[in-house]
Amino acid sequence: MIKIKNLYVNVEDKEILKGINLEVKPGELHVIMGRNGTGKSTLANVLVGKDKYKVTDGTVSFNGENLLDMSPEDRACAGLFLSFQYPVAIPGVNNMYFLKAAVNAVRKSRGEEEIDAVDFLSMIREKLKMVALDESFIHRPVNDGFSGGEKKRNEILQMIALEPKLSILDETDSGLDIDALKIVAQGVNDFRSPDRAFILITHYQRILNYMQPDFVHVLMNGKIVKSGTMELAKEVEKKGYSWIEEEVAEVA
Amino acid sequence: MSVSNYKVEFEKMLNRDYFSKSLHPYRKEAFAQLKKIGFPTRKWENWRFTNVSAISDGEFMISEVADAPKNTLNIDSYKMEGVNSIIIYNGHYQKELSSVPDGVTLLSGLEYLERKNGNFDTANNSPFDLLNTAFADSGMCLVEKEIQVETPIRILFISNGDRSIMVNPRVNIDLGESSNLIFIEHHVGDAAAFFQNESVFISLENNAQLNHIRIQSNSEFTQNIANLNVNQQTNSQYDFFQLVDGSKLGRSNICVQLNGENAQCNINSLALSKNNQHIDNNIIVNHNSPQTHSTQFVKSILFDTSSGVFNGRTVVHQNAQKITAHQTNKNLLLSKKAKMNSNPQLEIYADDVKCSHGSTTGQIDEDALFYLQSRGINKQDAMELLVTGFANDVLDKIPHPEIKQFIQADFTNKLGRLMS
């Protein structure tokens, strides 16, 4: 699905990512954990093509294509999706209108016909149920006046409407109460399939009570310093990150 | 830069036998006053950002019979469903194409004057109101009493041709007690040089309600001055919506007097400018009575080297307690060379009031743009979506669903062309 090789990234001339290597295969769910400021969100943003993130070295191939050469919209059409940590509010733009434009853009790129308003509405009604949102929600402006939990559920709604191959969830669990967390986790679980993959970025092991990751990676100072399974996440939850820091120091 | 440029035309005007001589004293007095004060210059406080030298140095001529349409006019391209239209072509009333809905009376300037017992509205002594009084030509007076007019009435002003014509439409709208009306001004045409100086006098009696929609979509080579004077009595409501995308110079002078308790006015305006167009909204709302309410909601979208002005003033007079007044001006600059001057002002002499004002000018929100792109929407469509989103909350103020649809489609179409 995605192969990240030796990726170096600068933000405003400061090196944030210092040689990331990661491969995610179809059907897998990878978790990336790490303290604040270790480069987790940078990794997410550079993959979807935000322009202030400059790649200085390395390659990323997405289903065989050079991801770094593609525009943000082409990446989305190719099946890449980021659930933003802080979804931006867009006053004046109706959520349904936006969703329909997005779904049709992606369909068009796949050579499929545009979906009409009636079919779209019945499709979106189904998906709204999956994230426990009522219909009034899609008639509001995008993320405008949404609560934190609503914004995150709106991200998941977009994900399941756009049907990406690889979804990156950037701290989708942050700031959610336990009920909202369960809804979000359920939404993702229902969406899992053998041909879809996920990268979940999180601070907490909490959401992993509701999801089954295949791999867990710890990001530190712009590098993946430790990889493992669910056991690693549990250890981090119990002991924090210092012991990994010490391990890394010893090796060096 | 002087009024005397227009002296020859003024004499010509007075010699037209189809204009009533009983209006001459008013015309002469207005022209004499205009000569005294002159056209505004950039030194005048309310004209600091707007240069009218194209008008004051101009050699615009009054419209001749030859400027009227030679054959029956085809107005299909300006069709609007569900309205009665009055057609004015280069200042000439096209009677056979016009109709008014039940409950509306259409009077000539003279008939109106007689009905008002010789009381000629002169509003303020602003130069362009005076110019209009001196040259008033295609006068349309709508008198309307205690009736709910179902069908909206539209005046379609068409300006065409290559001659530098000046027209001075003068529209009086009197709504009697508890009556209501939807009134649309629709300015269209592809004139190569044209100066329209329009004065509209609106008087709303107790409980009267007027929805006034103004679409200024004439050619981008015209000079347009619109002088709106609104007087409101107790419990009356005035809702104004304006879309301006035409004219080289477009200046709206809007002056509202909230004279009776509970009178309410809502001024909404959206400007879409390109090339070197200059769109100026100069608004004054006077709260003269307690418990009166006003809003000003003005947005501009500026392309290329176009420029704009928002000068909004709300004056709350001493006895006008418990009023509410809100001003919002938001501007979107879509080019590095576009320019906006914004000046929201509150002048409050009462002590128990609720007022707010705010102004923002900015560019496309890059984060919002990226958000849309990251969902597969290409950059151009995403930009268009954001600009439309910016305009939507003003367009939403249009009260009539069919007219709203018409204006929205027109706007989307024009925006699409500008952004492609």
Residue B11 has pLDDT above 70, yes or no: yes
Distance in Å, alpha carbon of A79 to nearest chain B alpha carbon: 9
Closest A-chain CA to B367: A88
The pLDDT assigned to B57 comes to 87
B393: closest CA of chain A, how far (Å): 6
A178 at B interface, C-beta within 8 A: no
CA angle B72/B76/B82 to nearest 5° reads 115
> Which residues of chain B are within 8 Å of residue A93 when distances are taken between CB atoms?
385-386, 388-389, 392
Subunit contact A72:B367, Cβ cutoff 8 A:
no
**Structure tokens that stand for B239 in this block:** 């809702």
Q: Name the nearest CA neighbour of B27 among B174, B143, B159, B139.
A: B139
Q: Does A71 touch chain B (CB under 8 A)?
A: yes
Q: How many CB atoms lie within 10 A of CB B360?
A: 11
The chain B residue lying nearest A47, using CA atoms, is: B374
* B376·A77 Cβ contact <8 A: yes
**Distance in Å, alpha carbon of A153 to nearest chain B alpha carbon:** 15
For residue A252, is pLDDT > 70?
A: no
Q: Do B377 and A101 touch (CB under 8 A)?
A: yes
Whether pLDDT at A16 is above 70: yes
Residues B272, B215: Cα–Cα separation, whole Å:
12
Q: What CATH number did the domain enclosing A150 receive?
A: 3.40.50.300
Give exposure, B136-154, as e/b (b: 16+ Cβ within 10 Å): bbbbbbbbbeebebebbbb
- CA dist B125 and B199 (Å) reads 12
Which of chain A's residues have a Cβ under 8 Å away from the Cβ of B376? Answer: 73, 76-77, 102, 105-106, 109, 162
CA gap B361, B280 in Å, rounded: 15
For B385, nearest residue in chain A (alpha carbons): A93
Judged against a pLDDT cut of 90, whether residue A187 lies above it is answered with no
Using CB atoms, which residue from B374, B379, B386 is nearest to A90? Answer: B386
Is pLDDT at A18 greater than 70 in this prediction?
yes
Q: Please report which confidence band the pLDDT of residue A205 belongs to, taking 50, 70 and 90 as the band edges.
A: confident
Contact (CB<8Å) B372/A90: yes
Task: Name the pLDDT band for B100 (thresholds 50, 70, 90).
Answer: confident
Q: Which amino acid is at B201?
A: F
A147-171 tens-digit pLDDT = 888 999 999 999 999 999 999 999 9
Q: Which residues of B touch A88 (CB under 8 A)?
A: 365, 367-368, 371
Return the half-sphere exposure (C-beta side, CA atoms, 13 A cut-off) of residue B187: 29
Q: Is the pLDDT of residue B1 over 60?
A: no
Given an 8 Å threshold on Cβ–Cβ distance, is B391 in contact with A84? no
Which of B138-142, B234-238, B299-303 is the least confident region? B138-142
Measured CA to CA, the distance from residue A102 to residue A165 in angstroms comes to 15
Chain B contact probe: residue of A73, A81, A109, A160 with most B CBs at under 10 A: A73
Q: Name the DSSP class of A50.
A: -
The DSSP bridge partners found for residue B195 are B166, B223
Please determine, for residue A229, whether its predicted confidence score (pLDDT) is greater than 80: yes
Look up the domain containing A106 and give its range: 2-251
Q: How large is the average pLDDT for residues B16-25?
A: 80
Sequence-ordered list of residues with C-beta below 8 angstroms from that of B311, at least 6 positions apart, any chain: B46, B280, B281, B282, B283, B341, B343, B345
Q: pLDDT tens digits for A71-90? A: 999 999 999 999 999 999 99
Residues of chain A positioned with their CB less than 8 A from the CB of B371? 84, 87-88, 90
Check residue B118 and give its pLDDT: 64
- What is the C-alpha to C-alpha distance for residues B213 and B88, in angstroms, rounded to an integer? 17
Measured between beta carbons, the chain B residues lying within 8 angstroms of A48 are 374
Query: What is the pLDDT confidence band of residue B144, given thresholds at 50, 70 and 90?
Result: low
> Which own/partner contact pairs does A15-19 have at CB distance under 8 Å and 24+ positions apart?
A15/A56, A15/A222, A16/A42, A16/A53, A16/A222, A17/A42, A17/A43, A17/A46, A17/A222, A17/A223, A18/A221, A18/A222, A18/A223, A19/A57, A19/A58, A19/A222, A19/A223
Q: Looking at the complex, report in whole angstroms how far the Cα of residue B327 sits from the nearest Cα belonging to chain A.
A: 19
Give B-chain residues touching A84 at CB under 8 angstroms. 371, 374
Contact (Cβ atoms closer than 8 angstroms) between residue B90 and residue B67 = yes
Q: CB distance B371–A71 less than 8 Å?
A: no
Res. A173: pLDDT tops 60: yes
pLDDT tens for residues B321-342? 999 999 999 999 999 999 999 9
Element of type H or E holding B224: strand B222-232
Of the listed ranges B37-51, B58-72, B370-384, the least confidently predicted one is: B58-72
Burial class of residue B101 (count of CB atoms within 10 Å of its CB; 0-12, 13-18, 19+): middle
The number of folded domains in chain A is 1
The b/e string for B182-205 (b: 16+ C-beta within 10 A; e otherwise) is: bbbbbbbbebebbbbbbbbbbbbb
Q: Which carries the bigger pLDDT value, residue B320 or residue A251?
A: B320
Contact B374 A76 (CB under 8 A): yes
How many whole angstroms separate alpha carbon B33 and alpha carbon B38? 8
Which is nearest to B217 in space by CA: B240, B174, B184, B177? B184
Mean pLDDT of A177-197: 90
Amino acid at position B408, single letter:
Q
Question: φ and ψ at A244, to 5 degrees?
Answer: -70, -40
Residues A135-149: b if buried by 16+ CB within 10 A, e if exposed: eebbeebbbeebeeb
